[in-house]
Structure 1
Amino acid sequence: MRVGYQLGTTWLASSLPNRCLLCHQSISLPESGICAICLHSGLYRGPICLGCGKSMQIEADYCGECQKRQPRKVIAPCSYHQGLGTWVGAIKYQGQLAALPVLCRALVTRIKALEQQGLITLPQAIIPVPLHPKRLQQRGFNQAWLIAHELSQLLQLPLIDEGLTRRQDTRPQAGLSGAQRRRNLHDAFILADDFAFQRVALVDDVVTTGTTVSEIARLFEVHYVDVQVWCLARAEAPGLLDELDSE
């Protein structure tokens, strides 16, 4: 995995623009990728339910509906459907890593704010969603690992990339229905029995239906490990971001 990191940092160094990816205005170093104005315009502007991604009137962990079932918490700085989603997708599909550092910093800001408000507890370790070795060889890097490594450095938390493995080279999730996604990922991952942490953050680039992270989280929760999910963007269900919780 060290090779993947070196490759990623090489690409990152060569791809950092001196102009904003969105507005194309000049950016002064050490800032890069996305200017402060465009970044701010693409981030969440108000409280967001950590369960479903719905807009809320007050800062809380869950909306009224999610409060009943206490789903797994998903923490992201922005919606995939807004201006920053294109550049989150470009990390994986185009190897365009210029936006990765600034988006990771935005995620860290969100994490720290939620911790200060008592809505989350920091994990003991950070775990990237693993790729199958065949897919890793084809792509040349695991974007979840690169994000997790950046977060590990920023938050001074250990990155654990052993113990959780992907044993099935499943078909891509994009374009599949919810049921198809669940069937596609059934028994796709395996977790070592001697995992030593009680609280972890599972890191991916984007959370859509949550099928991938849910499949992995169940493996941890069998061993009574608390799992929260960190990602650069959340692709919530249509309309949720525009709704205000009436609870």
Structure 2
Amino acid sequence: MQLDETFFEIPCDVVTFDGKVEHTELTDIDRAVAAFFQNVLDSLVVADTKRRENSEFSRFVGRDKSRKIYYGNFTDPVSFLSKLTAKLGDKVKANRNELLPVCYITRDPVIGFVDGAEYVDIADYGELANEQGQPYAVINKSFVALTYRINALAWNQSTLSRLALGLMVWLRHTKGKRKHVFRAKTMLAGTEMEISIEIRGRKDAMTEPAEVDHENTRLFASSISFEVIAEVYEAESIAVRQGAIGVGGRVIE
């Protein structure tokens, strides 16, 4: 008998990577973060609507939440207002109060990753399989750090202060139903999955008020930045074929 002779064979899957890689995108994170802050803003109310300082904010409260905050690529408040004015059209011409108060959210183009025991990269986190249960991709998991900026605009400084303060105080009290961690749906290699998103830096958010001129009219703007930690997944495409292992550990294909 030769030393490399195989006594018997055990069937096994032989997995090979074909070099193709797909990852989840940031668009679904952007939309989920914008929707989160839309709900936060929609929860802010004021009871004393007759007080002069509250009149503008009261109009904001009564507005549909889809018109309280917008997401997009806006370079500054002026460019945002130009696009919003064009969108609202005759409503703004008839009544300037249809324009403000309003908020918009943007994401800083810088993408970072998080250090720490809670946010380690995980290789071979899981698998994606087809309807027959055959795996076609191996999943890797990482955590990305993103910075979002909420810009609030109002005709009056008091309204702007109330909006900024309301956002920051809301996020300081994240107990009970006030969650700063939420989930969003995304797609990876043809499979729908969920990712976890966490609002960070919520206790030390800073507001930067400024005066802005728009069509020869003065208004006030305030900017608040928040850090967001989100899961990102990578799928490595694999091919699986039938093989066998001999008792000596030799793979027979």
TM-score normalised per structure 1: 0.26
Greater fraction strand: 2
Q: Indicate the structure (1 or 2) with the bigger Cα radius of gyration.
A: 2
